[in-house]
Structure 1
Amino acid sequence: MPPLAPIGRRIMARLVDWVIVAIPLAIIGIPFDIYRRVTDEDVADVWTSSSTGQVVFQLITIVAYVAYDTFFHRRNGQTLGKRLMGLRVGMLNDGRVPDTNAALIRAIVLWLPALICCACLWPLLILILILVDKPYRQGLHDKAAKTVVVSTTPR
Structure 2
Amino acid sequence: MPPLAHLGRRVVARIIDGLIIGIPVGLIMALIWGTYYPMGDGSDARSSVFTLVYVLAYFVYEGLMLTRYGQTLGKKAMKIRVAMLETGEPPVGGAGWARAATYTLPEIVPCCGFVFWLVNVLWCTWDRPYRQCLHDKVAKTVVVSTTP
Q: What SS does the corresponding residue of 2:83 show, helix, strand or coil?
A: strand
Runs of 4+ in 1 over 6 A off after TM superposition: none
- Say if 2:81 and 2:144, in contact at 8 Å, map to a contact too: yes
Q: Which residue of 2 aligns with 1:89?
A: 82
- Say if 1:114 and 1:120, in contact at 8 Å, map to a contact too: yes
The number of aligned residues is 144
Give unpaired runs (5+ residues) of structure 2. none
Q: Which residue of 2 aligns with 1:19?
A: 19
Q: What SS does the corresponding residue of 2:8 show, helix, strand or coil?
A: helix
CA deviations 1:103-146 (Å, max 9, x no partner) are: 11111110112344357544432332101111111001000111
Q: What SS does the corresponding residue of 1:90 show, helix, strand or coil?
A: strand
Measured in 2, the distance between the counterparts of 1:97 and 1:120 equals 28
Q: Which residue of 1 aligns with 2:145?
A: 151
1:69 aligns with 2:71: no
TM-score (norm 1): 0.81
1:128 aligns with 2:122: yes
In 2 relative to 1, CA 29–131 (structure 1 residues): closer, same or farther, beyond 3 Å? same
Q: What SS does the corresponding residue of 1:29 show, helix, strand or coil?
A: helix
- Say if 1:34 and 1:54, in contact at 8 Å, map to a contact too: no
Alpha carbon RMSD of aligned pairs, Å? 2.4
Aligned AA (1:137):
R
Which has the larger Rg? 1
Q: Which residue of 2 aligns with 1:6?
A: 6
Measured in 2, the distance between the counterparts of 1:69 and 1:125 equals 19
1:35 aligns with 2:29: no
Measured in 1, the distance between the counterparts of 2:41 and 2:129 equals 45
Q: What SS does the corresponding residue of 2:142 show, helix, strand or coil?
A: strand
In 2 relative to 1, CA 131–26 (structure 1 residues): closer, same or farther, beyond 3 Å? same
Aligned AA (2:29):
G
Give unpaired runs (5+ residues) of structure 1. none
Measured in 1, the distance between the counterparts of 2:63 and 2:85 equals 17
Deviates more, 1:135-144 or 1:121-130: 121-130
Identity %: 43
